[in-house]
């Protein structure tokens, strides 16, 4: 079955999102969102693997999760066509260009992957 929304406690929600991340390719490439259902409420979108500060400046981290989070943000803020374009660009790059989605094994550095997504847009 497919669910649009799952309501749970933080602990179990964290477990479920980690499992869901595996469907997307792992925590390093999965995007996530914490949605506030209140009108005008603040929601947050992020790469599920975090910011990986120990890799700062090494250009080995896959930026697809951060880009995907931006696509989710666009969709959530009433710009579904723009969000869909971001998702399509990600699918094109990951399906046609990248050797792997694993950090350091992509065949491109972080900046180059971002540039490929921009080109695909």
Among candidates 37, 44, 45, 49, which has minimal Cα distance to 7?
A: 37
Closest of 95, 98, 100, 85 to residue 26, by C-alpha:
100
pLDDT for residue 71: 97
Mean pLDDT to the nearest integer, 77-87: 96
Average pLDDT of span 18-36? 80
Q: What is the mean pLDDT of residues 22-42?
A: 82
Enumerate the domain spans of the chain. 10-120
For position 15, what pLDDT does the model report? Answer: 87
pLDDT surpasses 90 at 79:
yes
Q: Could you report the per-residue pLDDT of 85-121, keeping only the tens digit for each?
A: 999 999 999 888 888 777 778 889 999 999 999 999 9
Beta bridge partners of 33: 45
The 3-state secondary structure of 47-107 reads ECCCCCHHHCCCCCCCCHHHHHHHHHHHHHCCCHHHHHHHHHHHHHHHHHCCCCCCCCCCC
pLDDT value of residue 10: 82
pLDDT of residue 17: 80
Whether 88 contacts 79, CB under 8 Å: no
pLDDT tens column, 40-75: 889 999 998 877 889 899 999 889 999 999 999 999
């Amino acid at each position: 079955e497919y669910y649009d929304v799952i309501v749970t406690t933080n602990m179990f929600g964290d477990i479920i999102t980690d499992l869901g991340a595996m469907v997307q390719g792992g925590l390093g490439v999965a995007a996530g969102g914490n949605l506030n259902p209140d009108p005008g409420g603040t929601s947050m979108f992020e790469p599920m693997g975090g910011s990986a500060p120990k890799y700062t400046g090494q250009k080995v981290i896959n930026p697809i999760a951060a880009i995907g989070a931006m696509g989710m943000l666009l969709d959530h803020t009433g710009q579904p066509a723009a969000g869909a374009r971001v998702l399509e660009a990600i699918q094109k790059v990951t399906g046609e260009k990248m050797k792997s989605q694993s950090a350091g094994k992509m065949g491109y550095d972080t900046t180059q992957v971002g540039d490929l997504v921009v080109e695909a847009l």
